[in-house]
Amino acid sequence: MSIEHFADIVGIVGVTCILIAYLLLQESYLKITDLSYSLVNGVGSLMILFSLFYHWNTASVVIECFFFFFSFYGVVKRWTRKSVQNLN
């Protein structure tokens, strides 16, 4: 298996992660504030970015970087909120 083929598989798994997280959000199994929602989106974005390094598309790289950073922000926000709650 070539690295390009492997990158395609990783990208497809990343897309699947993001789509499943969004579906679970729409079906109310997840909330937008759930840590798992941000984690799955962040991991999915990283997987898509990995595939994009082998099949470059500038616009896709830009949007996936933003999706990753927004997800990372959500994770940090939840951790800091829980830390403050635990101190009180």
**Which tens digit of pLDDT belongs to each residue from 46-68?**
999 999 999 999 999 999 999 99
Determine the structural domain holding residue 66 and report its residue range. Answer: 3-87
Question: What's the number of domains the chain is made of?
Answer: 1
Among 69, 68, 23, smallest CA distance to 43 is for 68
Phi, psi of 41 (to 5 degrees): -65, -40
Look up the pTM and report it.
0.88
Q: How far apart are CA 30 and CA 78, in angstroms?
A: 15
pLDDT band at 88 (very low <50, low <70, confident <90, very high): low
Q: Select from 64, 53, 75, 68 the least CA-distant residue to 7.
A: 53
